Structure 1
Amino acid sequence: MKQSKIIVVTSGKGGVGKTTTTANIGVSLAQKGFKVCVIDADIGLKNLDLVLGLENRIVYTIIDIVNGNKKVKDTLVKHKTVKNLNLLASSQVANKNMVEPEDMVKIVDELTKMFDYILIDSPAGIERGFSNSIKAAQHAIVVTTPDLTAISDADRVIGLLENEGFNDNNISLIVNRIKPKMVEKKEMLSPDDIKEALAINLIGIIPDSEEIIISTNEGKPIALDSSKSVAINFNNIALRISGEDVPIEEDIKNNNVDTEGFFSFLKKMIGRR
């Protein structure tokens, strides 16, 4: 099997859509035939199983592996409908200090024997959970929303990633919950503001969407429903991750947004790619 690609999905603050993004990218990659494992690295505050609708199927967690009670392959939970997608769940009764960065490296090493892509859903912030999540990763995707606190926190995380050896070649940015009309009216941080603060490769833009909120609450990632326009965005991101050259403009086609305003937004953003 070809070498696995290990990606950590992270953010500076909570609530920016990181876990939802991880789940939907995982679904999109698996739908393309890749073998995918998503890891919930948020020890004590698990959410990835809920977003995937797998909370009732969790028997063993990452803590069982760390404690030596179970092997990695015995803890994996297969998705109900996406046969190539597996979850390694977190424990809600454990705490972040029960897992060391070296534990994550060993676990991921085992997973590379079984999967093409491993997505690690990092807890928000910069403490132990963050260190655990990035230790084994080859590539980092930073998720942010276009508000000042999220941008500031994302900038700090990018600095920490660079201190750990990441660089422009293996750090990418997803801007979530963009509202083009607000950008045009200068009611939301502009692309220039984001570029100045972060200046990393843009791998995807996700418009603000009630459909994502509904699908998340139902435990059915929106990427499962190709009839939903936002599913295209996650599909495009998955294509870029897998090496295909998909123009960033494709992220807004078929979305019910102010097209003219959004293309103006994109022209400014693309200047940094």
Structure 2
Amino acid sequence: MELNKNLQIAIDASLKAGEVIMEVYDTAFDVEIKDDKSPLTQADKKANDVINSFLQPTPVPIISEENKQIDFNVRKQWDTCWIVDPVDGTKEFIKRNGEFTVNIALVHKGVPQLGVIYVPATKTLYFADVVKAEAFKAELTSHQTSLEAILQQAKPLQTKPRTNNIEVVGSRSHMSQETMDFVEALKTSGSDVTIVSKGSSLKFCLVAEGNADIYPRFAPTMEWDTAAGQAICNAVGVDVISKETEKPLLYNKENLLNPWFVVSKN
């Protein structure tokens, strides 16, 4: 298996970021509250610095949750960009439940091309090349695992076959009334419905690896919350469809806030 060069860089960046995140996780860290009322820890800042150190040498500009946001008049000129969340699921990080991730995606003309999601607490790595329609999962023993070793143990992701039991991914922290209404509507269609809870971008991974059927998200998310997960899903034939346009979510928009969306197999 030969990986795209940018995908290799993103994998290396995610593992190094995971290492510094876990160094903070194992200490009595402080929590700041940002202007948008979301929490911020030293792990977010340190992971962002690490990821920037890997991505900045590439010719591709970066949109990161923890970077100063660049004006759309500049961004709209970008054909390709990185979209990064150094710690997705900061609330899960603060709760110390392990369900937080590093998200790195490469987007071309608004469409995710490459995606990496790394789960530092369990050393689980997901990575995908949408153009090649390939997505993999590797269970690592160290944040310092070589690319060669990763490729040796990586297993292709496989979605779940359709059954009458629909497993719906619900959020650990954001189960909205609209989501509950969506679940009730599935039940009235005659399906058995089970709720599976997960934090952060792991919800995308559950669908991509066959541990759930559908992930409805009727609550706010930003582009960095979803780009890597969408890449991993798209690579295995799972769609991430906007409830506004009924088309796939797009990236590097003027407003980096996503519309509501549903993740399911096409």
How high is the TM-score relative to the length of structure 1?
Answer: 0.25
The structure whose RCO (Cα within 8 Å, separation 6+) is larger is 1
> Would you tell me which structure has more helix in proportion to its own residues?
1
How high is the TM-score relative to the length of structure 2?
Answer: 0.25
> Would you tell me which structure has more strand in proportion to its own residues?
2
